[in-house]
Amino acid sequence: EAGVAQSPRYKIIEKRQSVAFWCNPISGHATLYWYQQILGQGPKLLIQFQNNGVVDDSQLPKDRFSAERLKGVDSTLKIQPAKLEDSAVYLCASSLGGRQAVQYFGAGTRLSVL
Amino acid sequence: AQKITQTQPGMFVQEKEAVTLDCTYDTSDQSYGLFWYKQPSSGEMIFLIYQGSYDEQNATEGRYSLNFQKARKSANLVISASQLGDSAMYFCAMRPLDQGAQKLVFGQGTRLTINP
């Protein structure tokens, strides 16, 4: 069974530029998550989707970050404009949902903002 | 609010020895799940083991076991017979089980190094 796919693996941009990350979850997983992991810290949830709908985006900086999940499968996370403090690894995860569902993570996209 | 504390920034262990990684948590939820993930230098978070707050027995998965002490609010990971490939960051995480949102709250992590 294929795991969570993310691209690109690495991205370097200058501040004030825009960037987009893509995620394809495990087949059949209804729930999709985007986490931000700053160097030296544990991941922090940015947004959770259940199928097409947003369940939790309370920690998403909505003035610059946006995310969508078209047709309840793939998802895109966008940053516009990027700031230096956005340098981090962006991890996508998916799960079947439900009370005890495990979240499975992709390899992440490492973003450097110069 | 939930909080995970991992007090060991780094651990160094000889190959084939057992190692315990500490994790304490704080939550007001009655029903919650505790998770351990491994993050090698490649960056992917790999799920290792899960313990539910109502599970009476400690969880085990191969060489991994979870020492769950509910009264002490601790959920330590035990790795038996450590191998060189166990060198990685290890994260303890938790989430409530009775809510719609399933946000995982992570600790700061422990970097484990296995010496030959």
Q: What pairing do the DSSP bridges indicate for beta strands A31-37 and A10-13?
A: unpaired
> Between A96 and B91, whose confidence is greater?
B91
Which pLDDT score is estimated for B103?
Answer: 87
pLDDT band at B7 (very low <50, low <70, confident <90, very high): very high
Q: Is A30 on the interface with B (CB under 8 A)?
A: no
Residue B99 has pLDDT above 70, yes or no: no
Q: Report the residue of B45, B47, B111 to disrupt the A interface, i.e. the one with the largest count of A CBs within 10 Å.
A: B45
| Structure confidence by residue, pLDDT tens digits, B24-64 | 999 998 899 999 999 999 999 999 999 999 998 999 999 99
d(CA B11, CA B106): 18
Residue B108's alpha-carbon distances to A4, A55, B3, B97, in angstroms, are 23, 25, 10, 22
Mean model confidence pLDDT for chain A: 94
Which pLDDT score is estimated for B71?
Answer: 94
d(CA B83, CA B89): 14
Which pLDDT score is estimated for A71?
Answer: 85
pLDDT band at A100 (very low <50, low <70, confident <90, very high): confident
Which pLDDT score is estimated for A16?
Answer: 97
* Identity of the residue numbered A84: L
Cβ within 8 Å, pair B102-A95: yes
| Structure confidence by residue, pLDDT tens digits, A46-99 | 999 998 899 999 999 999 999 999 888 999 999 999 999 999 999 999 998 877
Strand partners, B5: B24
**Interface contacts A/B by beta carbons within 8 Å:** 63
Q: Is B104 on the interface with A (CB under 8 A)?
A: yes
Residue A106 has pLDDT above 80, yes or no: yes
Which pLDDT score is estimated for B101?
Answer: 65
Cβ within 8 Å, pair A45-B104: yes
Residue B15 has pLDDT above 80, yes or no: yes
